Structure 1
């Protein structure tokens, strides 16, 4: 029989075992007043339990094992943290547990008290041969309330994990939210392929330098393309030559060192996504949106936030170029709505959440979640798989939750820690 200690914890925590005529292995009557609080750190598995054994009411810790002999294998007798265990709960009792002081710990065996139906449902989830997720046969049948409640929980978990990187960067930037937002926004301009060079660019070119030239678009473009390493070579067209001239002056003025041009990737990429075009769009955003994070905090309307990105106009040079000195057929280089939505999802929503959490202001956390509710769901293989199971992501709120669910619960078969898995196990 395949069985895990996690399942035993689950059974004990929710008292999903036959509780009539409970006795220790030595015949003492047991009455469980409180199973205790589940401890996921070191030490006994459940703390602050209240259990009556015989005529004595005990308060203390409960330890669980598949076999009572595991106590010795785990060397608990040599750990003082286990001296106040009041009950040892095991699937099978194969030997008594005697502490160094001679006290025998009362033991409760659950081998014949766990319903077969419950075990079979658990076994099918964790040890089944499913191809997408463990509960693929059942998740599409669950009620909306269960799903949405759990989606909220895992989405918060996702944002909390991502916010740790934001706060770490904020500390490095001495509490400067605008600079931190600028760096993360730049990294997202590179999407996955060019995220690293974009981030290095932003860190090599502080926002306060750009702010000093907010009234001179050519100098801002020169600073961005120069620091990106695209103005090192001899250039033929008038526009890049002007940029190079401006950059050479500004480079000396601010003692700047450009990043390595070879970091940028062009291979297997649509020309519209070339880093040169993304840099042109980034420059246009900087020119048109000083103190953008302050605007993010103030602007509530999703459409107005989107326009901060879709309404930017790149330098006319790029209308018929994808790279310097290489003419191409004229085409619009404005940012599309789909790209703008990714910035709102990956940067703006994250920063609203991080700002609210860091400053203990629920208002901004709620705005972050509301923003995700008003953005369309993402389209990728994971979301498509859930859709095939009858679970549709109608918003970014739901698609982000499904990504977290798949990557951090389903992939590791954490069904016992999952609200969806718990609901399926408890179904009659």
Structure 2
């Protein structure tokens, strides 16, 4: 038993008996179990109990042992002055001050089924893909599980986007650029690409976005790739970068993207060239994205985006490759952009003035194909059918938010497993 589990059982009232009595044998009726407090202070606030024919209203503190009250130094803490009930799993000592303050102690050891404790201990000790793997079956997934996960994820992403909006003085176009750069960088270069985007005042992008050579020069120059040109095209990019640096007084900062552990199509130079092409082809990119009503309209925006012709027969600067073909965005990569950037941004933009945006965004997820990765393969081994990005994104989010951290007590699946005694 630990305090976290004890709070969980109290909050969800998971007891085999509600015939509560205090440590002196007096009956206790819990009229209101209180509001679970996840911040500092008593564990449950605004509770109501009846004991000795008196109704008391106040706070409840829970501990594994009575002596934890002393070990946690609550005695002189003003936050704990309005305690009406001390709930413990095991009553090991008397607390003298409780006699003076008429605080009742309730021991729960005989009110909790031991199978719940053993299940919980098994969940947090097993070294499996998910803690409940041996107890899991798809029927334990609650109704609207995936939709709720997606909305939680969107809300978390929305917080990050709103922080960026505050920094950029509510410039949605600039924030779109920052987050598109993040998606184009994939896992290895995501933060590096976002740093590059944030170093460039978006007004500069707007002024040169009709000139792909200048956009590439800007991205490549800040990445430190033009200091020693290897061919004529690199010399052109370097001249353009020097011109832009002087004209717009760009900061003298170099940020180095990584090539290590990347397949050639994902090399940062290729992805930055494609990002430049996106802004050249769509002068009103933000309005197109926000007004898109379905995934087909979003695919239309990205489907013809490609790196410049220089990269048709190259993956590295100045080095010709045996493969000669345009470096066009794949459908899988477009999916990543839509999932990681477009949908969270659409949700954030519309959520304060469009009551139906949640349902609309969920429909986008339902229309996108699921990703393929090791996390989803492990879910599939548990007989879960993953048909769309609604399921895949939900399961990835749930694994990272709950399973990976063994946060079983805040998991709706874990709740059902623990309640099945």
- 1:231, distance to aligned residue in structure 2 (A): 2.9
Structure 1 residue 368: deviation in Å?
Answer: 3.1
- Alpha-carbon offset, residue 420 of structure 1: 0.4
1:183 to 178, 184, 187: 178
Of residues 281, 301, 306, the one that matches 1:308 is 301
Query: Contact between 1:356 and 1:365, CA under 8 Å: does it hold in 2?
Result: no
SS for the counterpart of 2:59 is strand
CA–CA distance in 2 between the matches of 1:247 and 1:23?
78
What is the CA-CA distance between 1:339 and the residue it aligns to?
0.7
Q: For 1:201 and 1:12, how far apart are their aligned partners in 2?
A: 50
Do the aligned partners of residues 82 and 214 (structure 1) sit closer, same or farther apart at CA in structure 2, a change above 3 Å counting? closer
Question: Aligned ranges for residues 268-417 of structure 1 at < 5 Å?
Answer: 268-329=261-322, 330-357=324-351, 359=352, 361-417=354-410
Q: Which residues of structure 2 form unaligned runs of 5+?
A: none
1:212 and 2:210 equivalent?
A: no
1:154–1:97 Cα change, 3 Å: farther
User: Cα RMSD over matched residues?
Assistant: 2.4
In the TM superposition, what whole-angstrom CA distance separates every residue of 1:195-233 from its partner, at most 9, and x where no partner exists? 244223322333322222344333333333333333332
Report deviation, 1:325: 2.7
Q: Does 1:134 align with 2:131?
A: yes
Distance 1:20 1:319 in 2: 73
**Superposition deviation, residue 235 in structure 1:** 4.1
User: Which residue is 2:21 aligned to?
Assistant: 23
Counterpart for residue 244 of structure 2:
250
Contact 2:230–2:317 under 8 Å retained in 1: yes
Contact 2:140 2:417 in 1 (8 A): no
- The one of 82, 88, 91 aligned to 2:86: 88
Equivalent-residue separation in structure 2 for 1:122 and 1:325 (angstroms): 59
TM-score, length-scaled by structure 1? 0.90
SS at match of 2:50: strand
Whole-Å separation in 1 of the counterparts to 2:163 and 2:295: 27
Unpaired runs of at least 5, structure 1: none
- Matches of 1:77 and 1:236 in 2, distance apart? 76
What is the Cα deviation at residue 180 of structure 1? Answer: 1.0
Equivalent residue, structure 2, for 1:419: 412
Aligned to 1:234: 229
State the alpha-carbon separation in 2 of the partners of residues 427 and 317 from structure 1: 63
Provide the C-alpha distance between the structure 2 equivalents of 1:179 and 1:328, rounded to a whole number of angstroms. 35
Q: 2:105 is matched with which residue?
A: 107
